[in-house]
Structure 1
Amino acid sequence: MYAARGVLSVHTERGTSIVPANRVAWTPAGFTHYHRAHGHTDMRILFLPPSLARLAPGRPAVFMVSGLAREVLLTLTGPDNYDPAARDHDRAARARLRRVLVDELHEAHEQRLHLPEPHDDRLQAIARILYEQPGDNAPLAELGQRIGASARTLSRLFHNELGMTFYQWRTQLRVFHALVLLADDHDTTYVAHACGWANPSGFIAAFTDIIGTTPGRYRTSHQHRTTP
């Protein structure tokens, strides 16, 4: 799955993987999952035959998408693929392109923006609050008071169940929300405040650290991107 424009989220029992337009998601056969498109998203889905699927990871993964991989994905999912005559005529060429894509994924680095799904009722209550209001800057102790749990207990649950601190998890959630807002063409300052950052510089640093590019460059690339 690839978002030529916009943002995808891929959900499995392990949690949610966020897939902005500089990443591509791979899900092997046999993994129960569902996906959602956020913002003005141009979603592309490509199925691999078993012979090539065996060469890809045996688990869900998210990779940085190279320029070559992007063009291959766009070609293999473009309008000509809905024309049976053209598709049959170019079958050998399409097979070669799929192999190129798999080779590119072998060379790519996994870049997973993963938001683990909490199972404990107390963590789920915290998650619901922040899903609805990602800009809520309440400390963990205050959020704990709202749901009837101590900050110490919640900190331990985040560490043991999700493998990260509350603040790391909230930052991941906020960056995901920021990707959706940027895909809807909101500017960096608006997105920073909407997602809970007191100033744009803090947002830019956190976003760049996770996504690999600044919010401004990410937004600009969407504005000028054309897709076959």
Structure 2
Amino acid sequence: MPARRQTSDTVPVSRLWASGGAHLWPSGGASTGHSHPRGHLVYAARGVLSVHTETGTSIVPANRIAWTPAGFAHYHRAHGDTDMRILFLPPSQARLAPDRPAVFAVSDLARELILTLTGPGNYDGTARAYDPAAQSRMRRVLVDELDRAQENPLHLPEPHDDRLRAIARRLYDTPADNTALADLGRAIGASSRTLSRLFQSELGMTFYEWRTQLRVYHALILLAEGHDTTHTAHACGWSNPSHFIAAFTNLVGATPGRYRAGRGSP
């Protein structure tokens, strides 16, 4: 999915160790496509991440944590200056997670656990590091917390039908476009009934549900870049900011104001 890029003073910094990693990325920074021999969790301690796989794009704001199984091809992109944390799970704990990419709501406990397990003590040799047995116990508690949370995705599935892809390209570039589905269909030579059926059969949602998810995705990017709620609402297609706030809160679990202030907890 195309993403806005902006200049930033953040210097890309990557640290990887046996059980995890920490990456500081400027807005627009992205990894290359890759996979890992172990499944891993990613969390944005600051900024917004998107995780891209063949199934689509998962958006990972500060109140979500994403899981990618071992061997699953993916890449990450940062929106806003982003502090990305990565935690690998051993097979004994990874088997408790789904066998496909997933996104979970993150509790306060889960957030503190992943920040502890990926904090400076893990790579700078200070006394703040926990011994392997303690780290294993914390990972198990984290996995239990995610199991209790259940899945709570902000997922934008990737269309494959050429007609849907044409609509997607247009709305990726101009999320504020309010053109009705029937008019979009006339532009690409398909009826609104055909397109509605394709959205349901291929993406599992209506056109309007998909467009709302796309707009909230772009709203997360704009908020991460420092834009206020009113500007973000209008830039993403809502003429009434209160309608935007309701849609955003329904999908993200926090109001735009709370999320922008860094209190995006569920």
Partner secondary structure for residue 32 of structure 1? coil
- Residues in 1 aligned to 2:191 and 2:98: alpha-carbon distance in whole angstroms: 40
1:116 partnered with 2:157: yes
Partner secondary structure for residue 46 of structure 2? strand
Match of 1:82 in 2: 123
Match of 1:33 in 2: 74
- Residues in 2 aligned to 1:73 and 1:133: alpha-carbon distance in whole angstroms: 36
- Residues in 1 aligned to 2:263 and 2:176: alpha-carbon distance in whole angstroms: 24
- For structure 2, the 5+ residue unaligned runs are 1-41
User: Which of 94, 104, 115 is 1:63 aligned to?
Assistant: 104
Partner secondary structure for residue 87 of structure 2? coil
- Residues in 2 aligned to 1:95 and 1:17: alpha-carbon distance in whole angstroms: 27
Partner secondary structure for residue 170 of structure 1? helix
Q: C-alpha displacement at 1:44, in angstroms?
A: 0.6
1:134 partnered with 2:184: no
Residues 183 and 222, structure 1, Cα contact 8 Å, conserved in 2: no
Which 4+ stretches in 1 moved above 3 angstroms?
84-89
Q: Quick one: which amino acid aligns to residue 147 of structure 2?
A: H
Encode CA deviations 1:183-214: one digit per residue, 9 max, x unaligned.
11111000000000011011011111111111
Match of 2:186 in 1: 145
Match of 2:252 in 1: 211
Structure with the higher helix share, 1 or 2: 1
Greater Cα shift, 61-70 or 30-39: 30-39
Match of 1:196 in 2: 237
Q: C-alpha displacement at 1:88, in angstroms?
A: 7.5
Match of 1:187 in 2: 228
Higher relative contact order (CA 8 A, sep 6+): 1
User: Which of 43, 49, 57 is 1:2 aligned to?
Assistant: 43
- Residues in 2 aligned to 1:88 and 1:186: alpha-carbon distance in whole angstroms: 37
Residues 122 and 129, structure 2, Cα contact 8 Å, conserved in 1: no
Greater Cα shift, 196-205 or 29-38: 29-38
Q: C-alpha displacement at 1:158, in angstroms?
A: 1.0
TM-score if structure 2 supplies the norm length?
Answer: 0.79
Report sequence identity in percent: 75
Matched positions, count: 224
Encode CA deviations 1:54-76: one digit per residue, 9 max, x unaligned.
22222221111010110111111
Encode CA deviations 1:24-83: one digit per residue, 9 max, x unaligned.
011111322222121221111110111211222222211110101101111111122222
1:172 partnered with 2:231: no
Residues 164 and 195, structure 2, Cα contact 8 Å, conserved in 1: yes
